[in-house]
Amino acid sequence: MSAILEGRSAIVTGGSLGIGRAIAVALARAGANVALNYRKHDTEARQVVAEVEALGRRGLAVQADVASFDNAQAMVDKVVAELGGLHILVNNAGINRDGVIWKMTEEMWDQVIATDLKGYFNYIRAAAPVMRAQNFGRIINITSINGLRGKFGQSNYSAAKAGIIGLTKSVARELGKSQVTVNAVAPGLIETDMMAAMPAEMKQRALAETVLDRLGTPEDVAAVVVFLASEGARHVTGEVIRVDGGQYI
């Protein structure tokens, strides 16, 4: 891939594993310098930084809790100072605390909303003034098809992912005059380490829902993120692009 993002600096939250890792590497391959946050996976985060730097880009790993407003602001400030700016923000970090609604605890609900929804607000709030001042930006929010259709046993997760879609559309309206595009990517079931722990029956059910008769890979999601970060998507904003093999049509 040519260096279509040459000179750009990006943040990828939750960039040490799975989809986030694939996005970080794909952005670097396209020419961007990449900072990623992690909470627990220090070794994995440093491995991603090494991959980014092996591609000739600058990499940065920052330990930060996305649910913390102050951590988000501190990370954005650090990235601007050390990487020379912030042009691309990919909100990806998320957790699951699954359970049917009559068994879901307040803690299960609050943890998912704090990470999967408030975490996105925290980073957008910190990045928006930077992007407005430079009259340019790309914000890409990773949501889920379950934010569009709901999922049994995932009312907290589905609510957060639906909230991300509303957040995306609102912020797209607010930042459009500053030439900042804001879009969401909604994956279906993607082959990650987290998915490997799922019961085989659940994976087979998801596979049967697709029309391409295969599950997606993190690289499938990353390719769409790179497009949305590029000049080729300069006239695309407020959109939700599904990457699900037709799992939800």
Can you tell me the mean pLDDT for 116-139?
98
Q: Report helix, strand or coil for 214.
A: coil
Return the residue matching tokens 């910190």: 126
Please give the structure tokens belonging to residue 96: 């699951």
Residue pLDDT, tens place only, 198-244: 788 888 988 999 999 999 999 999 999 999 999 999 999 999 999 99
Q: Report helix, strand or coil for 138.
A: strand
pLDDT of 199 reads 81
Whether the Cβ atoms of residue 91 and residue 65 lie closer than 8 Å to each other: no
186 strand-pairing partners? 242
Can you tell me the mean pLDDT for 83-107?
96
**38, 120, 123, 157: the active-site residue:** 157
pLDDT surpasses 60 at 1: no
Mean pLDDT, all residues of the chain: 96
Instruction: Identify the structural domains of the chain with CATH numbers, from first to last.
Output: 9-243 (3.40.50.720)
In 10 A of CB 249, how many CB atoms?
Answer: 9
Please give the structure tokens belonging to residue 168: 């995306």
Percent of the chain exceeding pLDDT 70 equals: 99
Q: Is residue 123 annotated as a catalytic residue, yes or no?
A: no
